[in-house]
A and B are shown apart, each in its own frame.
Chain A
Amino acid sequence: MEAWQILLLTLYAAVSCWDHLCPMWYTWQPAIAGLFAGVVMGDMTTGLYIGGTLQLMVLGLGTFGGSSLPDYTSGALIGTAFAVTSGSKEIGLAIAVPTGVLLVQLDVLARFANTYFQHLCEKACERHDWRMVQAGVVMGIIPWSLSRIIPMLACLLLGQEVIATAAAVAPEWLINGFKFVGSLLPSVGLAILLRYLPLSRYWMFALLGFFLAAYLKVPVLGVAIVGLIAAGLKYAELIKAPAQPVLAAAAPVAVSADSTIEGTIDDDE
């Protein structure tokens, strides 16, 4: 791995961290991070494979109320880098998943560290130092960036040799095992997603999508068009109904959403 590649990947991790917090251009999404890493490493397809697989694991997982998610952005960047240098997609993915799960701890640390800058703002406010109040907010970027830059540099600088050796000695059956894990993992993302979405009310639409893809072999984009039609019909129905039933129908939504979320995201802190 060249120095400029390590630098670019590290920088991307820091910038996408800020993007996730503020403007939200979705650069932190694993598929997009994988695409970037793939282009930097000179193998876009591998980057898309690793990023795409991780992407399917985080569908429907948002950061609500300050919960931390597995850092699959860094996972995709590191996994892609090692997949390309070791020549094994399976090894790359086998590294990406645990990396993402471990690195979330640093996200938690950054959120703690920023309490310091919150206090800095409050003290500055007591002194009527308005400039400092504002600077304290902007400086919050520092812990966030460090929480991504340090692990990225450490992994990319120190891990390369280890991974290359591991990839060289791994037997065929073990690689096959990793490969199967890679194919199986998207089921976790889809299942989590189904628990967030109102499946009990709208299960027939999920079944419709499954039917179109499994039996009629309609590509996902085609299914999305059918979904759009269904959504349009639903919208017309909701708009036509008088205001009272809309609110009445919406009330149980909140209840069911609460009850489904319970138990699935309590690990994200």
Chain B
Amino acid sequence: MTNNETLQPADGRGNVELDKATLRKVFFRWYFFSQANWNYEKMQGAGYCFSMFPVLKKVYGDDDEAMHAAVANHLQFFNSSPQATPGILGINSAVESRLGSKGTEAIAGLKTGLMGPFAGVGDSLFGVVLQTVCGSLAAYQALEGSPVGCLIYLAVGFAMMAVRWTLFKIGYTQGERAVDTITEHLKPITECASVLGLTVVGAMITTVISISLSGTYVMGDLEKPIQGMLDGILPGMLPLIAVALVYMLLSRKGMTSNKVIAIVCALGLILGCTGFFA
């Protein structure tokens, strides 16, 4: 069956069997150029089209009009999580090679339907949680003077290629059914990763924010550093208060992270200059 189908003409009638090399090209085109042309109008649209070209040539190559329709179709707006999108590319490759020109509308619907959910899961898992855990460790070790955390972070970045490839393969082999598989598996993972992330962040509050009071409390000939007294009540009290205050500040309507940074810088500079804080 596979032997016959490789001989199918690229005339847009579909039922084309894609070889490994073509699939690999799609994957690496996305890997190296996904957002090279990111723009406010169509966002990742052109990058997506660029990635699909090897498949489009196999499916429509000999029919110029069909090719034109397909390229125009893929140049449309697209935006999702770059790391999760290989899953969509895989599904798209499977459907497009089977249906050919008959599938143009279905594919446009597929892409717009999938980019939202994939962005949601991909951004929270790969964007927020993964970067939180790796970034926390890298920052913590960097402040201790060690580059090991940074190197681990880079290693994770390279390893993510395997995750992307797995998503791509699931997408291609399962076609539309892959959507359920991917979202069902990623959701519990995202939840658990959030648990890990929050535990680490809780610890980071006292370890990376190194602020203290520098005064001493004098009563008769008894002298006690104020910070020592605070530590007796609750170690890490000042960092905890700082985070809580910033958290509340961020919750205010119309507040932006840049405004908060400006406020913290100004306030911190004044407090630091007084000499009471270190």
A234 surroundings in chain B (CB, below 8 A): 191-192, 195
| B99 interfacial contact with A, CB 8 Å | no
| Residue from A35, A57, A130, A210 within 8 A of B240 (CB atoms) | A210
| Residue from A23, A215, A247, A263 within 8 A of B253 (CB atoms) | A263
**A209 close to B268 (CB less than 8 A):** no
**A22 close to B203 (CB less than 8 A):** no
**B38 close to A62 (CB less than 8 A):** no
Instruction: Mark interface residues in A161-196 (1 if CB within 8 Å of B CB, else 0).
Output: 000000000000110111111011111101111111
For the complex, give the distance between the alpha carbons of A136 and B36 in Å.
Answer: 10
| A2 interfacial contact with B, CB 8 Å | no
Instruction: Mark interface residues in A113-149 (1 if CB within 8 Å of B CB, else 0).
Output: 1110110011001101010011011111100100000
For the complex, give the distance between the alpha carbons of A140 and B50 in Å.
Answer: 12
- A21 and B36 contact, Cβ closer than 8 Å, known pairs A183-B210, A191-B246: yes
B45 surroundings in chain A (CB, below 8 A): 118
- A176 and B196 contact, Cβ closer than 8 Å, known pairs A181-B264, A184-B242: no
| A79 interfacial contact with B, CB 8 Å | no
| Residue from A21, A137, A223 within 8 A of B50 (CB atoms) | A137
| A157 interfacial contact with B, CB 8 Å | no
- A267 and B258 contact, Cβ closer than 8 Å, known pairs A64-B127, A66-B40, A186-B208: yes
Tell me the nearest residue of chain B to A247, going by C-beta. B187
| B271 interfacial contact with A, CB 8 Å | yes
| B216 interfacial contact with A, CB 8 Å | no
B41 surroundings in chain A (CB, below 8 A): 115, 118
| B114 interfacial contact with A, CB 8 Å | no
Tell me the nearest residue of chain B to A182, going by C-beta. B268
Chain B interface residue count, CB cutoff 8 Å, equals 120
**B157 close to A49 (CB less than 8 A):** no
| B123 interfacial contact with A, CB 8 Å | yes
A196 surroundings in chain B (CB, below 8 A): 128
| B168 interfacial contact with A, CB 8 Å | no
**A228 close to B256 (CB less than 8 A):** no
- A24 and B82 contact, Cβ closer than 8 Å, known pairs A206-B201, A250-B187: yes
Instruction: Mark interface residues in B18-62 (1 if CB within 8 Å of A CB, else 0).
Output: 000000000000011111111111110111011001000000000
Stretch in B2-10, B63-71, B102-110, B169-177 with 4+ CB within 8 Å of A:
B63-71
B134 surroundings in chain A (CB, below 8 A): 26
Instruction: Mark interface residues in B254-278 (1 if CB within 8 Å of A CB, else 0).
Output: 1111111100110011111101011
- A174 and B273 contact, Cβ closer than 8 Å, known pairs A130-B53, A209-B198: yes
**A117 close to B202 (CB less than 8 A):** no
A231 surroundings in chain B (CB, below 8 A): 192-193, 195-196
CB distance from B166 to the nearest CB of A (A): 16
CB distance from A103 to the nearest CB of B (A): 13
B198 surroundings in chain A (CB, below 8 A): 194, 197-199, 202-203, 205-206, 209, 227
For the complex, give the distance between the alpha carbons of A243 and B188 in Å.
Answer: 11
Residues of B143-165 contacting chain A, CB below 8 A: 143, 145-147, 149-150, 153-154, 156-158, 160-161
**B35 close to A22 (CB less than 8 A):** yes
Tell me the nearest residue of chain A to B45, going by C-beta. A118
For the complex, give the distance between the alpha carbons of A176 and B272 in Å.
Answer: 6
For the complex, give the distance between the alpha carbons of A64 and B119 in Å.
Answer: 8
**A227 close to B200 (CB less than 8 A):** yes
CB distance from B26 to the nearest CB of A (A): 13
**A180 close to B272 (CB less than 8 A):** yes
**B131 close to A62 (CB less than 8 A):** yes
Q: Which of B123, B141, B197 has the most CB of A within 10 A?
A: B197
**B236 close to A25 (CB less than 8 A):** no
**A187 close to B243 (CB less than 8 A):** yes
**A101 close to B201 (CB less than 8 A):** no
A49 surroundings in chain B (CB, below 8 A): 142-143, 145
**B188 close to A238 (CB less than 8 A):** yes
**A176 close to B273 (CB less than 8 A):** yes
**B138 close to A52 (CB less than 8 A):** yes
| Residue from B31, B199, B235, B265 within 8 A of A224 (CB atoms) | B199
Residues of A216-261 contacting chain B, CB below 8 A: 218-221, 223-224, 226-228, 230-232, 234-235, 238-239, 243, 246-247, 249-250, 253-254, 257
Query: 5 tightest CB-CB pairs across the interface, nearest first?
Result: A180-B272, A209-B202, A267-B256, A52-B142, A227-B199
Q: A97-B265, A138-B36, A197-B128 are in contact. List 15 more A-B contacts (CB 8 A).
A: A21-B38, A22-B36, A27-B157, A56-B139, A62-B127, A62-B128, A114-B39, A115-B40, A177-B269, A181-B272, A184-B264, A193-B128, A197-B201, A214-B205, A224-B196
15 A-B residue pairs with Cβ-Cβ distance under 8 Å, sorted by A, are: A29-B135, A60-B128, A112-B40, A114-B38, A128-B67, A136-B46, A183-B278, A184-B272, A194-B201, A202-B195, A206-B202, A234-B192, A250-B191, A254-B120, A267-B258
